[in-house]
Amino acid sequence: MKKFLSVAMSAIIACASIFSCTLTAFAENAETEDVTIDCSSAATCSNWEQSITVDQATFNATRLTKDSEIIVTFKSEEINEKAGNKYNAELIFQSWDNTTTSVAQDGAVWAKIAPVKFDDSSATYDFESIATAYGTDDFSQVYNIIIGATDRAKITVTGITVTNCKTKTYAEKEEKDSKGTNPIIIVIAVIAGIAIAVVVIVIIMNKKSSEAFDVSTGKFVDKKNLFDEPKNGEDEKK
């Protein structure tokens, strides 16, 4: 019985290790790349106007990872050093009929993101800042990514690069998997089934065995000694 329980516990620990490795594999197997977006249609703008709009068909924001940055380059003109903002370009995540974030107003989202690094010709926006401004890191309902000017300068966007984002093929596969049976759920179900089976077998074997595990002492003892109550006066005789 002791040997069986030891083997059973080893099996459960082994299953847990497999599950941990599976989760790590899923996390590390994401294929990433840097994406350059065509900005040939960008317009010159100023005072909160928009220079370029990137729709979901051109770049789907669900491809962003926690390591992603959106790097924008632009030409600046008529810089106003006395303006309220210190940076020239702002990033905007736009959505409508939105059901994923609490910042939506009547389903509409116009999330403005300030750059974490900037100068008069470039601005960098990181994943954390984007998710914070948008209210969630679920970007499935981001329909437009927009680059606009602040009140500090007139700008014309010349380039947009998204770093460390999922490849289009991987993102499509991930979306397909999310609509089907999640492999992680299957692994959890299998481990849970094994654990339950082990517990049931231990209970059955414990009942049939002449020994039982005494929780109070942490040892296996004879069932008769464990469950039989002393007869009246027996303690006194001892």
Among the candidates 166, 201, 223, a domain finishes at: 166
Do 59 and 101 fall within a single domain? yes
Is there a domain that residue 172 lies in? no
Per-residue pLDDT tens over the stretch 117-135: 999 999 999 999 999 999 9
CA 101, distance to chain mean position in Å, is 15
DSSP annotation of 1 reads: -
Do 87 and 141 fall within a single domain? yes
Is there a domain that residue 188 lies in? yes
Cα distance between residue 103 and residue 136, in whole Å: 9
Do 194 and 125 fall within a single domain? no
**Pairing state between β 219-222 and 211-214:** antiparallel
In this prediction, residue 197 has a pLDDT band, given cuts at 50, 70 and 90, of: confident
Nearest Cα neighbor of 68 from 111, 123, 129 is 129
What is the count of structural domains for the chain? 2
Phi then psi dihedrals of residue 70, to 5 deg: -105, 115
Do 73 and 107 fall within a single domain? yes
Do 8 and 86 fall within a single domain? no
The region that residue 199 occupies, defined by phi over 0 for left and psi between -120 and 50 for alpha, beta otherwise, is alpha
Among the candidates 139, 166, 193, a domain finishes at: 166
In this prediction, residue 144 has a pLDDT band, given cuts at 50, 70 and 90, of: very high
Do 85 and 114 fall within a single domain? yes
SS3 at position 163: strand
Q: Does pLDDT of 83 surpass 70? A: yes
CATH code of the domain covering residue 133? 2.60.120.1070
Q: Does pLDDT of 18 surpass 50? A: yes
Q: Write out the residue range of the structural domain in which residue 19 sits.
A: 2-25+182-237
Q: pLDDT at position 31, please?
A: 87
Among the candidates 142, 166, 190, a domain finishes at: 166
Cα distance between residue 106 and residue 39, in whole Å: 31
Do 156 and 196 fall within a single domain? no
Least confident of 59-63, 92-96, 210-214: 210-214
Is there a domain that residue 177 lies in? no
Do 45 and 134 fall within a single domain? yes
Is there a domain that residue 171 lies in? no
- CB distance 155 to 44 below 8 Å: yes
- CB distance 222 to 211 below 8 Å: yes
Per-residue pLDDT tens over the stretch 170-180: 666 656 665 55
